[in-house]
Structure 1
Amino acid sequence: MDLVTLALPQEPADGIAGWAADLVDALGGPGAGLAIALENLFPPLPSEVILPLTGFAAGQGVISLFSALLWTTLGSVAGATVLYWIGMLFGRERMHALWARLPLVRSTDLVRTEEWFARHGTKAVFLGRMVPVFRSLISVPAGLERMSMPVFLLLTTLGSLIWNAVLVMAGYWLGDRWDLVETYVGIVSKAVLVLVVAALVCYVGLRLRTRGAARHRRTP
């Protein structure tokens, strides 16, 4: 019996879960790694589906638990490295040029962001691998700031291994209830997005108020 039938007995074998199950069925551990690498490059692909499903596959003997953890971590590192290189190739000069054209921002904001990353970048890369949404995004500023590649790879590997192990083991232990992981992690992901949007709205509102006040002071 294939993984799709085991994991999705009452659902159509399409969608993200069906696609990931087909990859694992066809390629084994490397298929799970490929799915996670693509999840890093395209954040709408949910790791909270792919990783527990991989753990379920390990529990069913389709792949070994060691293979599940090894290949999903390698996939995470591979995807993060591609994003790191994108950030590095884009470069600080282009980023500053693009930033200068954006409304409601100042060049000093970007400078402060760079200074913050210089002080806290190692923690951001490590912990960012365990935060939904930011798991992928954190690799880009690491590339922009040209963080040491060995340091980046070490932090990304450790952070990814922790995140992947939690979700893979959850799927392994939950068995045919592996899809419960998606529900609870999805709630966390939505909460993070709400906080980010709220922070962005507050930032834009503060910028508009500051500009309005400055314009008012200049008016005779």
Structure 2
Amino acid sequence: MEQWIIEVIGAFGYVGIFLLMLAENVFPPIPSEVIMPVAGLAVGAGRMNFTVVLLAALAGTLLGNLPWYLIARLVGRQRFLELTARWGKYAAVKPADVQAAIAWFDRHGSKAVLLGRLAPGVRTLISIPAGLSEMPFGRFLVLSTIGSAVWITFLLLAGVILHDNWHTIADIIGPLGTLFVATVAVGFVVWIGWRRWSDRRAAADIVTPAPGPGDPIG
């Protein structure tokens, strides 16, 4: 993967960076933490212009963000809830869980998109709840632009500054991204478990009323 990325940037320059970053946001296994430091290395060597690289990468990122957002927006929350009702049992997910997650995103969606663009492994996936929650396209685009610009600039500067040691940033971010995704997954499972326990307890309280003044205890 790394050698292929180097060859694409070497052969196609700014267009290659644009296409790689577009693909990275459609197919997450293509790592921006390799693409941008390699581009930064070229900038540091004087073969590329920092601003043009940044704009090409940002354009590719924003265009790559759109497919998942638009697909989720077209599916819509109602259709997604119907699919969850039909198939969610195989993943231990109920429509109520999805509704609660969407409600949370409705309250905190702006922060989630902005910070999600800075999180490896989540940068692309955050487009899906944004689409399902019907976040206005303009807000989605602005938040994605800000978060992505910060992320791209950081990686680009890392390549410029670290030179031949640019691998360091990928070696650090790769495991951190995996850890972050794993933490989010575990947190989601725990959250679902907590909701199930709360629902069962609430149901038990309804079925078994508290004893009255004249009722025996025990």
1:111-150 matches, within 5 Å, as 111-150=99-138
Contact 1:122 1:155 in 2 (8 A): yes
Q: Which has the larger radius of gyration?
A: 2
Which 4+ stretches in 1 moved above 4 angstroms?
A: 203-215
Match of 2:141 in 1: 153
Runs of 5+ in structure 1 lacking a partner?
1-15
Paired amino acid for 2:181? L
1:5-154 map, 5 Å = 16-101=1-86, 102-103=88-89, 104-154=92-142
CA drift at 1:127? 0.9
Contact 2:72 2:131 in 1 (8 A): yes
AA aligned opposite 2:154: V
Deviation at 1:175, TM superposition (A): 0.6
Change (3 A) 1:152 1:25: same
- Between the aligned partners of 1:171 and 1:185, the Cα distance in structure 2 is 13
Using a 3 Å threshold, how does the CA distance of structure 1 residues 97 and 160 change in structure 2: closer, same or farther?
same
User: Equivalent pairs: percent with the same residue?
Assistant: 37
* Of 29-38 and 104-113, the range deviating more from structure 2: 104-113
**Which residue of the other structure, out of 170, 176, 180, is the alignment partner of 2:164?**
176
RMSD: 2.2
* Contact persistence 1:52–1:172 (CA under 8 A): yes
- Between the two proteins, the alignment pairs up a number of residues equal to 202
- Alpha-carbon distance, 1:190 to partner: 2.1
Give TM-score scaled by structure 1 length: 0.83
- My pick for the range that moved more, 187-196 or 159-168, is 187-196
Task: Report the TM-score, using the length of structure 2 for normalisation.
Answer: 0.83
Q: Secondary structure at the match of 2:5?
A: helix
Structure 2: gaps (5+ residues): 208-218
Contact 2:121 2:178 in 1 (8 A): no
